[in-house]
Amino acid sequence: MKDIFDKLKDAGRDALGTFVEFDPESPAQAPAAPRGPDRGVPVDVTLAAVPVSAPAAAPVSAGAAAPDPEFVQQLQAAVQASGKQAYGQFRTLFGALSAVPDDTQRASLALAAAQASHGVTAQQVAEAIDDRLRILAGEREAFQKAVGAESDAAIGGTQKKIDDARAAIARKAEEIRELQARQAELEAGLAEARASIDANSARFAASYAVVEAELAAERARIAPLLTPTSGTR
């Protein structure tokens, strides 16, 4: 599974390398890979040719990806670590009976031959398959943990920055709205002050004209009665 984890981490680096600095030595980004099969364990025939009913897979999103050949090989290698050899013995005999066209008959003949040559029963073959499914489920669990760790390391930091930026934008937007409201209040106050000043100025000018006209009229009235002064020509 180490190659699968490495591929997962490479994908994370490619996607977020611009924003996130990856430390290959960081424990958070290097989850321990499950142990692979020992070299001394006999290798089973590939599972790809066996019509085994597997547990229902988790739902996938629309446009599901195609199987990755490297992942398939890694998972097949992992299940070969099973210590129950009945399945491998059955598969060898099943493969040797390829001339039999009916799969059910072929499986029956292979089981009969396995029991005769190795003392293997159908129940033992089923238990061996179940053991491999258990190993396969363990690989999925390990992969999901690796995905979680990689998400925390590669995606979590960037997502936090995005969330912080979004929060900062919201704060700035609220600040801008408050400033705009304050600006509107000040502009309204300014307009009111200008209107008041203009009104007072207009009233003063009108009042000034009245008084000035009164004084000018009085001045004109007594002007003929004035005695010329010595400085008057």
Residue 125: which of 177, 182, 87, 74 has the closest Cα? 87
Between CA 153 and CA 23 the distance in angstroms is 9
E strands of the chain, at which residues? none
Per-residue pLDDT for 112 more than 90? yes
**8 — pLDDT class (breaks 50, 70, 90):** low
Phi, psi of 199 (to 5 degrees): -65, -45
Per-residue pLDDT for 179 more than 90? yes
User: In the prediction, which pLDDT does 229 show?
Assistant: 72
The structural domains of the chain, with segments of one domain joined by +, span 2-54+65-167, 176-223
The crossing angle, in degrees rounded to 10, of helices 86-96 and 103-118 is 120
- Cα angle, residue 132 at apex, residues 59 and 134 outer, rounded to 5°: 60
- pTM here is 0.45
The DSSP letter of residue 47 is: G
- The pLDDT tens digits of the residues spanning 51-86 come to 444 444 455 554 578 999 999 999 999 999 898 989
- The pLDDT tens digits of the residues spanning 157-170 come to 788 889 999 999 99
- The pLDDT tens digits of the residues spanning 114-169 come to 999 989 999 999 999 999 999 999 999 999 998 888 877 777 778 888 999 999 99
